[in-house]
Chains A and B, each alone.
Chain A
Amino acid sequence: MTATATNPTGTTATTGDVDDTASVTARVVAALGTVRDPELDESITTLKFVASCTVDERGTAQVRLRLPTYFCAPNFAYLMVADAHDAVSGVDGVSRASVVLDDHFASDAINAGVAARAGFVASFEGEAVDELDTLRADFVRRAVLAGTDRVCRPMLAAGTPASAFAGMTLGDAPHTPDRERLRQRRAELGLPSGDDSPLVVDAVTGERVVDTDLPMHLNRSRLTRVSAEANSGVCRGLLRDRYPETATISSPDSTHTEAAS
């Protein structure tokens, strides 16, 4: 007997045991949802980068990823495929994972490198000097800046003067998904992330931002968020043109989407 399960990302499971493989598939999809585009700081499922996801009765998970253009930056592409491979491999019930990037100029190098767990330098022999940890950390820092704006902007709109932020803690901000997302990104960098930690911190040192530095810091935070959201908007538009069927698949998270006019 064969059954097919579908979910909002358009993934399917084909299996002889409906309950088991369907639940494994659901866990695989959830795991993929934790993988982010490091540049855009959004989930690859929200971004519709997951083209397909199947799990067979032996626990073999096969995931295909796709990106907005043939020339998307190979370093970020590599991170997404490698992270997806790690996330899916760790799912209970998955015995073997295959994650493949389609339609990209560096698909072969990335797919072979990730499958062999070779690392970025070995996958792009002669073209890279270091692994991608520094690049990733730089973009998590940008995510902290953008996240600071997402938390602080509504507080400013509600009447909190910017000068008051200097004395506030993360716990003083309203409990919102944006605040928790900011907390998580700060924790990833080893920055203070508890409720008693400062609301606005330097994304490199973790020091509280105060006084004359605060207006500049808030302006840069807003700018960083605008940049990321504009990029995300362009990427979504290009993906929709490249894979028109994505226009009909609803996204589980519409926080950062905006309808075309």
Chain B
Amino acid sequence: MYEKNGEKYFIVDSHMHFWDASPENWVAGHENYAKGWIDCFHAYQSLGPPETHWSIEHFQKPSEEDLMKDVFEDGHVDVAIFQPTYLLEWYRNGFNTTEQTGALAEKHPGRFVVNARWDPREGDAGLKQLEEDVKRWGSKGVKLYTAEWKDTSRGWTLKDPEAYRFLERSQELGIKNVHVHKGPTIWPLDKDAFDVSDVDHAATDFPDLNFIVEHVGLPRIEDFCFMATQEPNVYAGLSVAIGGLMHARPKFFAKVMGELLFWVGEDKMTFGSDYNIWEPKWQIEGFVDWDYPSDEFSDYPRLTTDTKKKILGLNAARLYDIEVPAECQLSSASSEPASQDDAALVTQEEARV
């Protein structure tokens, strides 16, 4: 919990990791990819405040003690949601698997939510693994990374019939939340790999699943926002938006926040630190203090304390059925999180402009 000016914020870090990208875990012959991947992440960390930067060695493999201190002790987080990223082509034991994060979660009951993942290219074996993971870890969410390499394949899309088989099975197993992350490669390479239209299809065909588009669709914020107005079950995961822009590009951050509040709405935006790319502490403290820097942004919806409470924890708590202490609830009854009708409201509001 974070407290500021008498207001208490329940914090759900809805997108974070516990990874091992140390050279010992690199796949022989694929060292360049393993190194390139973690170096790229490390560069993202440089967009945060200088005093929060780590050495590459520390960054490659934080310890359990680092994580518990950075996220919970110093970082104000109440519940953290592990989002797995396997990358078995490059990392021998996986980059950040459900197994790795689950082991940590078991040692600290009540602190973590462990999400599973799937890859439609794994077929029946993948479905079986998903079932085992959901049973083993009690997962209510999955993280999907469509740009993951597998043998000669450079990615997949949610439009694949095989992906629909996995979505159906996920739903049967009790999965509610599907976190989607786009990356630079997908087959075929001549298409825009960051295109989010496949999420649009899946969200329409699976109205009882929530689709949280991580990194707010970056670098396709425009496509993501427009889709989110039309799909009531599409959410904006703010990881990277806050970490990558709030400090380094404050003016662009203000514009991105303004657009998200306008198109997506405060009831469908969820905070994620993307730990250990960035520590949650400075992001949460900075966001609670944040407002538009000038009148230049007067066209955009305002942020209230309740807006920030929703984004920092209450929205994700609702998606994952996490109990929130009464003292951290919204300050006024009038701003209860809206139902799925909010997409229509945004559209109406938009038409009046």
Chain A residues with CB under 8 Å of chain B are 39, 68-75, 105, 120-121, 124, 126-132, 134-135, 138, 142, 145, 212, 215-216, 219-220, 222-224, 226-227, 229-231, 233-234, 237-238, 240-242, 258, 260-261
Contact = CB atoms under 8 A, between A and B. Distances in A.
Contact of B252 (A132, A212, A229): A229
Nearest to A126: B152
Most buried by B among A74, A120, A241: A241
B188 interface: yes
Interface of B: 32-33, 36-37, 39-40, 42-44, 46-47, 152, 154, 183-185, 187-194, 218-222, 225-226, 244-245, 247-253, 255-256, 258-259, 262-263, 350-351, 353
In the A-B complex, the 3 residue pairs with the closest CB atoms: A70-B36, A241-B46, A227-B221
B32 A234 contact: no
Contacts of B219: 39, 227, 230-231, 234
Nearest to A132: B190
A127 B187 contact: yes
A237 B249 contact: yes
Give the dominant DSSP class at A's interface. Answer: helix
A242 to B, nearest CB: 6
8 contacts: A121-B190, A127-B152, A216-B351, A226-B252, A227-B259, A233-B245, A238-B40, A241-B43
A228 to B, nearest CB: 8
B289 to A, nearest CB: 14
Contacts of B253: 230
Nearest to B184: A73
Nearest to A244: B46
A230 B245 contact: yes
Contacts of A131: 190
A233 B256 CA distance: 12
Contacts of B247: 260-261
Given A73-B184, A215-B353, A230-B255, A128 B222 contact: no
Contact of B184 (A71, A129, A145, A240): A71
Contacts of B39: 70, 242
Given A74-B185, A121-B190, A234-B47, 11 more contacts: A68-B43, A73-B184, A74-B184, A216-B351, A219-B262, A229-B252, A230-B252, A234-B244, A237-B244, A237-B248, A260-B247
A229 B253 CA distance: 10
Contact of B248 (A39, A68, A260): A260
Contact of B190 (A70, A120, A227): A120
Nearest to B258: A226
B222 A224 contact: yes
Contacts of A126: 152
A68 B46 CA distance: 13
B40 A127 contact: no
A124 B185 CA distance: 12
Nearest to B223: A227
A145 B194 CA distance: 18
Contacts of B353: 215, 219
A166 to B, nearest CB: 15
